Structure 1
Amino acid sequence: MLRFRAARTALAVAVLGALAAGCGDAGELKGAGQAPTATSPAKLWPSLTPAASPAWKYDNGDAETMKGVTAPGGDLRRLDPAVLVRAEIAQHPDDYAGSKAPYRQTVRRMAYCGKEPADARCPLLKPYYRDITGDGRPDLTLGFRLLPGNQTAVRVYTVQGGRVIQVMSNNDAVSGVELAGRSVIIHAPSDLSDYEYRFQWTWDPDQRVMLLTHDEMLHIGKRVRPSNPSAAPSATPSPASPSATP
């Protein structure tokens, strides 16, 4: 072991000598200045007694069985999403029923869901089906508007033991939603200009629910607005563009 260390030291000295001998060659390496000193985290208040329980309850780690709802053949794609929203309304009357319920208008708007052609007054958004839990079957990511107000409900449903389970529930003023692997990422506007909140919910196979794994505020830069709003393209496709779809 000592001989190995001595040989390695000698080799290092030889390499350094060779580099020093060629320091006058063209294309030589140049120093970038003094590197900043690395500092380790400083632990504050080491005598502080650690808290044993959270100060308030997070909307995190809760799974809820949707009572009276079944997915034919265990396939959520064969289940009407409106049935799930109506089941939530029935299971949470404090949110949806009565004159003081914050989302009472959502209940009235649900009467317009399921009509042909589709009625814009229906609060349901397009459902998305993707395997988030990793069981090989498509799970359901569902969104619907919470009225009155400017909030959107984002829910994730899966099938466990033949039952339809809501494994994620989040209400927020949503500006965008993404699916990435086992995660649902929700973007929400911030009171600070050029910033946004970003929440990442990720499936936890041990808890068998979606957990809030990331909660951050990010700088997104200046928002570019068109200098001439009247020049924006019309939402109605032109007859000269037969490939356009509304």
Structure 2
Amino acid sequence: MKRRLPALVVPAALLLAGCGDSGGLEAAGPTPTAVGPRHLWPSLTPASAPADDYGAGETQVVKGVAVPGGDLRRVDPVTVVRAQAAADPDTYKDIEKGLADCGDPGPKETGCPVLTPYYADLTGNGKDDMVVAVRAPKGQLVVRVYMYADGRLTQIMDDEDAVISVQLADRSVVVRAVADLSGYEYRTSWSYDRHQRAMLPTRDEIVRTGPPTTPVPKTPSGPASRSAAPSPTPSPTGGS
């Protein structure tokens, strides 16, 4: 049963003043009844631990890198990546050879995997943070954010994906990546959380970007698929 709206008591003087006024208020019709979410399987025991380690909220203090005057614009991002590679060679073994093309000593070559950094106040502390991208094998791109606070250089975001583009939107880093569905892409928005003191993926979605495509059904490979194919029907021959 729909609820009825309470009648409005309007003074007669206002009614008379509104006669013939085409710009007066008009009823928009009945208000639809709000429907709340349905709680499915209310007796289900909630999980207490994540199924996979997504790595969100993890931070890493970068040691051995000086930040003159607390200004990250005066820090070479290659020096930061090299310091992390020296501290954790197993993680950086795929890009360590490319770091030799980044100069110092010597000129910076085109094969240097560390791209030009960008700066923005992502943490809201009034200082610019540093956004660094590092090319990785198989078309992957590592996107990281570094902040300097309390006398420490800290990595507060680490994301690796088949990246299409990276955007700065206000105080968020938006990473667009290739999806495994044709005509779609992943978009993850990373924002700083002051309680965790790290960038968290506050919004993660899959978005349609192209025309719809019809999935091609997969057929079994090997002799089985060939034997399953129907035999051609013999053409009729002339009678006697």
Q: TM-score with structure 2 length normalisation?
A: 0.73
Q: What's the CA shift string for 1:6-39, capped at 9, x where partnerless?
A: xx8353699xx99xx99xx9xxx9999x998753
- Relative to structure 1, the CA distance from residue 128 to residue 38 in structure 2 (aligned partners, 3 Å threshold; closer, same or farther) is same
- Relative to structure 1, the CA distance from residue 77 to residue 61 in structure 2 (aligned partners, 3 Å threshold; closer, same or farther) is same
Q: Distance in 1 between matches of 2:194 and 2:51?
A: 26
Equivalent of 1:60 in 47, 56, 60 = 56
Equivalent of 1:9 in 1, 7, 10 = 7
1:165 maps to what in 2?
A: 154
1:205 maps to what in 2?
A: 194
2:36 maps to what in 1?
A: 40
Q: 2:94 matched to 1:94?
A: no
- Relative to structure 1, the CA distance from residue 10 to residue 126 in structure 2 (aligned partners, 3 Å threshold; closer, same or farther) is closer
Q: How does 1:1-246 map to 2 (within 5 A)?
A: 9=7, 11=9, 38-97=34-93, 104=94, 106-114=95-103, 118-147=108-137, 149-222=138-211
1:120 to partner: Cα distance:
1.0
Find the residue that maps to 1:107 and give its secondary structure: coil
2:221 maps to what in 1?
A: none
Find the residue that maps to 2:119 and give its secondary structure: strand
Runs of 4 or more consecutive aligned structure 1 residues displaced over 6 Å after TM superposition: 29-32, 34-37
Structure having the higher helix fraction is 1
* Structure 2: gaps of 5 or more residues: 1-5, 213-240
Find the residue that maps to 2:84 and give its secondary structure: helix
1:192 to partner: Cα distance:
1.5
CA contact (8 A) 1:70 1:162 kept: no
- Aligned sequence identity (%): 45
- Relative to structure 1, the CA distance from residue 60 to residue 111 in structure 2 (aligned partners, 3 Å threshold; closer, same or farther) is same
Across the aligned residues of Structure 1 and Structure 2, the Cα RMSD in angstroms comes to 3.4
The higher radius of gyration belongs to: 2
| Count of paired positions | 206
Q: TM-score with structure 1 length normalisation?
A: 0.72
